[in-house]
Amino acid sequence: MTPAVAALLMLAGLSEALGRVTPVAVRRRGVPRSRIVRLVLAGAVVEGAVFALWPLTAWTLAELLPASPSPGDGLDWTPGLVTPLVLSAVLAFPLLGPLLHLLLFVGVGAGLTGPLSAATGLGWWTAAGCVAVAGVALGVTVEGVRRLVVRISVTDTAETS
């Protein structure tokens, strides 16, 4: 992964994290700014890592299929593939609505499907299924982590009061 791609993934992660943490910060006025900054930075790293794992997870799922992919280096983000992801993370700031956000991520997933299909020799629909399952699995995992962090931070805040 090139430094430019890593920076773009972190920018997309930062946008996602800001969209997730901002509503929480607005609802809880007593939360110190330092805690909000730490949450945003940690969220940016987690979201960026999830975005970085999306093509790798889709490739791994494609390898598990009976018509396994030809040996190769796998699927990786390129600046051309990651730029729409950054745009969708910025434009569909999660505060604007989950439906628009989902629609833009479906578009980014469709952009990943073509290179995965070409790299593995799988059909477009099969590759799209791998990308979708990988995206949903990573999304559910990161949502579980978010809920755990919120639960821990609520418990931590209640104990300090």
First-to-last alpha carbon distance for the chain, in angstroms, is 45
* Alpha helices for the chain (secondary structure H): 3-27, 33-64, 79-91, 98-120, 124-160
State the pLDDT confidence band at 133, using cuts at 50, 70 and 90. very high
State the average pLDDT over residues 147-157: 74
pTM tops 0.85: no
Residue 134 has pLDDT above 70, yes or no: yes
Are 95 and 22 within 8 A, CB to CB?
yes
Span 80-124, pLDDT tens digits: 777 666 666 665 555 556 676 677 778 888 888 988 888 888 889
Q: What angle do CA 24, 30, 33 make, to 5 degrees?
A: 75
Are 59 and 52 within 8 A, CB to CB?
no
For a pLDDT cut of 90, what percent of the chain falls above it?
A: 6
Average pLDDT, the chain: 78
Residue 7 is predicted with a pLDDT of: 82
Six token digits for residue 144: 């579980």
List all residues 6 or more positions away from 40 whose beta carbon is below 8 Å from its beta carbon. Answer: 14, 17, 18, 21
Span 40-67, pLDDT tens digits: 888 888 888 888 888 888 888 888 887 6
